[in-house]
Amino acid sequence: MKLKLVPARTGATWVKLGMQTFFKQPLAMAGLFFIFMALMSLATMVPIIGLPLAMTLLPAATLGLMAATREATEGKFPMPLILFTAFRAGPAKLRAMLALGAMYAAGFLLAMGASYLVDGGGFARLYLGGSAPTAELLQSPGFQSAMWVFISLHLPLSLMFWHAPALVFWHDLPPLKSMFFSIVACFRNFWAFTWFGLTWMGSIVVAILVIGTLGPLLGNPALSGILLFPALMLLASMFFTSLYFTYRDSFELEAPAQA
């Protein structure tokens, strides 16, 4: 597997390509993202094993969105069944993808557990939607320490799994080897990924500012609150659409034509 080095400005290009591809097939890409979110939410509702189950399925679901993006770039309309791409390619790849998911789930639970030990679970409950944020909680030293512990553990975990689903599925790499190449590719293109993150952060800030001023300008301040959540969801869909381009431009070998 040969890695490609790209200039820093490519990070902003990935964001632009993600947005452009989303608007090529807005109904399909938005619909697939909301199905993706619904499946993850349903998985977390399973008693006892809900969170580990959702985290195990996350790499396979992410691959489905990447496959949908690739179809959209080819002018095709991705159908909902494409989300299950990882489960339709035979038992060998299914086992590899589930093994990858199990390792991600273990890493995520380890990071969350470490944060729990720091503040007794305040950050974990808020992150997982089990409690509402309060000013007292957000400003407490324990909560902030737990947040940084989780971030410091989850960031390298995310980099290890950034390209891993695509490498397992499209390049037949074993899960551990795909994780190695994934994090190496992210570090080799550090500045491109930095610009990628900064551009997305800037896009979110601009969207919040525009929506925040739109309601008062139209004489309906409540409108901003109504529009903010769907707008952020659409940006999240565009973010997942852009992931395919970070993978495509980070590796020398093109993925074989496999649906």
Q: Is residue 144 part of a domain?
A: yes
Report the distance separating Cα 20 and Cα 30, nearest Å.
13
Is the pLDDT at 259 greater than 80? The verdict is no
Provide the residue range defining the domain that includes 89: 10-248
Q: Is residue 2 part of a domain?
A: no
Q: Can you read off the two tokens belonging to residue 45?
A: 């509702």
In this predicted model, what pLDDT tens digit does every residue of 127-150 receive, in sequence order?
887 777 788 888 899 999 999 999
CA angle 223, 227, 230 (to 5 degrees): 160
Q: Is residue 77 part of a domain?
A: yes
Residue type, position 111, single letter: A
Report the distance separating Cα 112 and Cα 100, nearest Å.
18
Q: Which whole number is the average pLDDT over 221-232?
A: 88
Q: Is residue 254 part of a domain?
A: no
Q: Is residue 256 part of a domain?
A: no
pLDDT of residue 254: 53
CB atoms inside a 10 Å sphere around CB 235: 18
Q: Is residue 163 part of a domain?
A: yes
| Model confidence band, residue 6 (pLDDT cutoffs 50, 70, 90) | very high
Q: Is residue 253 part of a domain?
A: no
Is the pLDDT at 255 greater than 50? The verdict is no
In this predicted model, what pLDDT tens digit does every residue of 169-223 receive, in sequence order?
999 999 999 999 999 999 999 999 999 999 999 999 999 999 989 888 888 888 8
Whether the Cβ atoms of residue 147 and residue 115 lie closer than 8 Å to each other: yes
Helix axes 175-188, 190-217, angle to 10 degrees: 80
Q: Can you read off the two tokens belonging to residue 25?
A: 């097939």
Q: Is residue 258 part of a domain?
A: no
- Given the structure tokens 């990882």, which residue do they identify? 86
The tally of domains found in the chain comes to 1
Q: What is the pTM of this model?
A: 0.91
Provide φ and ψ at 140, rounded to 5°: -70, 140
CA distances from 152 to 101, 112, 157, 175 (A): 20, 11, 9, 22
Is the pLDDT at 236 greater than 50? The verdict is yes
In this predicted model, what pLDDT tens digit does every residue of 42-88 receive, in sequence order?
999 999 899 999 999 999 999 999 999 999 999 999 999 999 999 98
